[in-house]
Structure 1
Amino acid sequence: MNTGVHPVIMAGGTGSRLWPLSRQMHPKQFLPLADKQSMLQATLGRLDGITEAQPILICNEEHRFLAAEQVRQSGKTPSILLEPEGRNTAPAITLAALHALDCGEDPLLLILAADHLIQQVEAFHLTIEAALPLAQEGKLVTFGIVPTHAETGYGYIQRGCALGEKGFKVERFVEKPDLPTAESYLASEDFFWNSGMFLFRASRYIEELELHAPDILVACRRAIDEGQRDLDFLRVGKEAFTACPENSIDYAVMEKTESAAMVSLDAGWSDIGSWSALWEVSDKDADNNVLHGDVLAESSSNTLVQAEHRFVATLGVDNLIIVETKDAVLVAHKEKVQDVKNIVAKLKELGRDEYSNHREVYRPWGTYDSVDHGHRYQVKRIMVKPGAKLSVQMHHHRAEHWVVPESVMPASTLSLSPSASIF
């Protein structure tokens, strides 16, 4: 265990290709896609055995209470930095590096995404250990995933000459290739999937950022300086951060620095960036189906069915993705799942709430489920966490009727004025 390593977990993003399960207000990093835990909680759990340092968690302020609750359940006590809006990975990592340095430390930052799957945790830990000497020497280390097939959905890293026992100089970063190019990369054995995970000293990253993308550094420094503590969160300055250029760490720093190094990682990694990726990493039945929930698959093969709330039956289908939620159903050919994000964009364009919210919405005090609605009425099922308190507002032109089950709370303990509202 290395006490000098400080984890940074990036929990932004919307996971639009995993709609309708992943949505803007409840994206995939907060969902239990590959395990009973959410992907964020699984990421936090993988830190055990690497370091005792509490992580820095970066998330959108819209997700702050969802993130805080899942972190609380995991037993971690991270610093939670809130972005007013996403500006890609370079600004997010800059916030974390500046925050660490402002705390009087200059740790090695282990940059992780909250929505990655790593099935072989011990191999992951050993790879981090192998990368430590390079990072301690001042290298900016990225982790290249040993490819298992010709993948067109990932960027690639080409390795150069050897650095030490386990590392390589980064020859170049490559954009997502077409299939023939991906096949040539796989055959060469010199190309690795770009994982988006990194290890470097905080001050070294800031030095390289100042050299290659100083406008990002200036904006993030101002955002940190103007930040305010809010409960368990640190809100960075909104005006300064929204003015920050939007850029990835690859474009801003890694493709330009002379200090980029790579260590290969073979640990059952996936970013679960699509429904087909989830199908690939999941346990399958004799017909190559992945079935979750109340599902009956008859004469069906190579299909993923995710039934969240209702019984779903399939008959004579092949190579499909079927996802059922309370308010939406997706049926897609597995070869078209990269285009699910186009459906989300269309829903947003049409002003439909399904692109953003589930029928069940999370609040700091609990959840509410919009059971029914119509002209001038709506019905909601409200679940309040023990000890929590609803926000109360006043409405003069709306009547409310409350039913509190005796098994949950004696009716006599509920006191609301006829015009009080929680929404």
Structure 2
Amino acid sequence: MGGGTLVKTDRIVPVILAGGQGTRLWPMSRAARPKQFLALTGSQSLFQLALQRVADHAVYAPAIIVTNSEYRFIVAEQATEVGAAIAGVLLEPVARNTAVAIAIAAAYAMEKFGAAAILHVLPSDHDVEFNAEYQFAVQRAAIAAETGQLVTFGIAPRNPDTGFGYIKAASTIDGSVQPVEHFVEKPDRANAQRMIDDGGYFWNSGMFMLAAATFLDECEALAPDTAVAARQSILQSTTDFDFVRLGAEAMSKAPNISVDYAIFEKTTRAAVIVAAFGWSDLGSWDALWKTAPKDDGGNVTRGATRLNNVSKSLVVTDHAHVAVDGLDDIVVIATNDAVYVGRLSDAQQVGAMVMSLRGTTDTAHLTQIHKTAYRPWGGYTSVVSGERFQVKRLSVKPGKKLSLQKHHHRAEHWIIVRGTAEVTVDGVVTVLTENQSIYLPLGCTHRLSNPGKIVLELIEVQTGSYLGEDDIIRFEDEFGRV
């Protein structure tokens, strides 16, 4: 089942959920590289910051990551960059929400760490203030979880936000841990304000602390279809390099339901710890604006920007220089192939725009991929394309190589811009350096590798009748994509 050797530990086992495909931060966040892998609040991605919060080996065991198969190499690369200890990366062949994801992680953790494993379940795409209050909440939640309570972290509401679910806490148990009276779905503004006025309501953060065995027992009793799918997914799993591929047949039969609906709203074991640290789910551009430092006009900017007579706005660019004049309450998000402009106060509506773009053939790709695509060997950026030709800029990391492959419909020219390339064409190996080039005729078997110590950069010119990424046959691949 892919669990490996049992590791005895009294430490908390982190479970980081990293499979979401958030659309409300479009056009930065897209299906191929969603917000958890973006550096939205600093130099590290939200996923990397989540790994950093569970890096204390005195408190935490190595993390279990649950993610989509498409993100396996991004997860591995970003975890390596921050030196994170990983117990396992569980790959979901299909998305099935949080109930089955946590059940699978719980079963895996019990096999890996023993029947007494305590899990700290964390979304990978939230902004969390890591301070003494956070650490205190983790400790108290772990103690409660050891007694059989399923603990959720509640955040004291700062405003009547309609983007979050709410938790109503009952009487106090053991200081700051309280039983849950009921859950409230995302309310309208009037009901959100009423709950704040009444008191005892908290934002549902989506973070949990629970004993793996207790959670699985509750799954068996309250969500048996989820429990069966979790067991079968692991029984059908296979090991792929450092990844565990969950059984596709079993996962496809799992209910697409959140852990709140499946377990927490039904169980008598639900408890909430009131957390006093800063938190945001960064579920919309206005959420990012609220949490970020602002200039004297109340503006937040990222990238190359120039603002004049602008107030209470968010302007973010990763490509072109963006100049904004004489506006307020706006959001401008610019990437190299799409620009979104709207009212910051209406930022929750971005999802509707994405659905509209996704429903049209000529714009659907804008919701799926960036012009820059990341691969385990490096990546490429589309520079220009036209009828029967396309130009890309490739970068290959030191020591990495692309698959041995061929194309049926295109030929390629490679021009080396920086570094050293080792190119294999029909069994003949050629070493190229800066300003040298090579032609790869249609149908040839070829491979590109970087034998050097610096990043290899080259320009690729494709010509042919079809230039899609699916025109590729792989014969050998060190990343298991054959």
Do both share a fold (TM > 0.5)? yes
Contact 2:156 2:274 in 1 (8 A): yes
CA distance in structure 2 between the partners assigned to 1:156 and 1:397 by the alignment? 54
- Equivalent residue for 1:113? 123
**Greater radius of gyration (CA):** 2
Which letter maps to 1:99? Y
AA aligned to 2:109 is A
- TM-score scaled by structure 1? 0.96
Percent identity reads: 41
**More deviation, 8-17/408-417:** 408-417
2:383 is aligned with what amino acid? V
Unpaired stretches in structure 1, ≥5 consecutive residues? none
Of residues 347, 368, 374, the one that matches 1:362 is 374
Cα deviation for residue 291 of structure 1 reads: 1.0
Q: Which residue of 1 aligns with 2:41?
A: 34
Please state if 1:98 is matched with 2:121: no
Q: Which residue of structure 2 aligns with residue 344 of structure 1?
A: 354
The one of 375, 385, 393 equivalent to 1:381 is: 393
The residue aligned with 2:93 is 84
- Aligned pairs for 1:125-136 (under 5 A) are 125-136=135-146
2:83 aligned to which of 75, 96, 107: 75
Residue 410 of structure 2 aligns to a residue whose secondary structure is: coil
Q: CA deviation at 1:29?
A: 0.2
Residue 272 of structure 1 corresponds to: 282
> Which residue pairs with 1:418 in the alignment?
441
- The corresponding residue for 1:56 is 64
Q: Which has the higher strand share?
A: 2
Name the one with the larger helix percent.
Answer: 1
Partner of 1:317: 327
Out of 257, 261, 275, the position equivalent to 1:251 is 261
Deviation at 1:161, TM superposition (A): 1.2
Q: What's the CA shift string for 1:113-147, capped at 9, x where partnerless?
A: 00111124322111111222211110101111011
Q: Secondary structure at the match of 1:400?
A: strand
Q: Aligned AA for 1:18?
A: L
Q: Judge conservation of contact 1:157–1:170 (CA < 8 Å) in 2.
A: yes
Offset of residue 104 of structure 1: 5.3
Q: Secondary structure at the match of 2:301?
A: strand
After superposition, what is the alpha-carbon deviation per residue over 1:311-352, rounded to whole angstroms, capped at 9, x for unaligned? Answer: 110000100000110100000111221111122212221133
Task: Quote the offset at 1:393 in angstroms.
Answer: 2.1
Q: Distance between the aligned counterparts of 1:238 and 1:336, measured in 2?
A: 39
How far residue 4 of structure 1 moved from its aligned partner, in angstroms, is 2.7
Distance 1:393 1:152, change over 3 A: same
Deviation per residue, 1:394-415 (Å, 9 max, x gap): 235422111012x422685147
Equivalent in the alignment of 2:304: 294
Deviation string 1:332-384 (CA, Å, 9 cap, x unpaired) is 11122111112221222113311100000011111011111111111110001
Return the offset for 1:109: 0.4
The match for 1:159 is 169
Amino acid at match of 1:82: L
Instruction: Let me know the Cα RMSD of the aligned residues.
Output: 1.6
Write the distance in 1 (CA, Å) between the matches of 2:440 and 2:193: 67
| Matching of residue 262 in structure 1 with residue 272 in structure 2 | yes
Which structure has more relative contact order (CA 8 Å, sep 6+)? It is: 1
Report the Cα offset of residue 219 of structure 1: 1.1
Q: Which amino acid aligns with 1:281?
A: T
Q: How far, CA to CA, are the matches of 2:370 and 2:409 in structure 1?
A: 27
1:401 equivalent in alignment to 2:413: yes
Alpha-carbon distance between aligned partners in 2 of 1:76 and 1:317, rounded to the nearest angstrom: 43
Q: What letter matches 1:314 in structure 2?
A: V
Q: CA deviation at 1:103?
A: 2.4
Answer yes or no: is the 8 Å Cα contact 2:40–2:46 preserved in 1: yes
Unaligned residue ranges in structure 2 (runs of 5+): 1-8, 423-429, 433-437, 448-468, 470-482
CA distance in 1, matches of 2:187, 2:113: 43
Q: Point out 4+ residue stretches in structure 1 off by more than 4 angstroms.
A: 414-417, 420-423
Q: Is the 8 A contact 1:308 1:326 kept in 2?
A: yes
Contact kept? 2:168, 2:182, Cα under 8 Å: yes
What does residue 170 of structure 1 align with? Answer: 180
| Contact map agreement 1:25 1:356 (CA 8 A) in 2 | yes
Q: Which residue of 2 is the match for residue 214 of structure 1?
A: 224
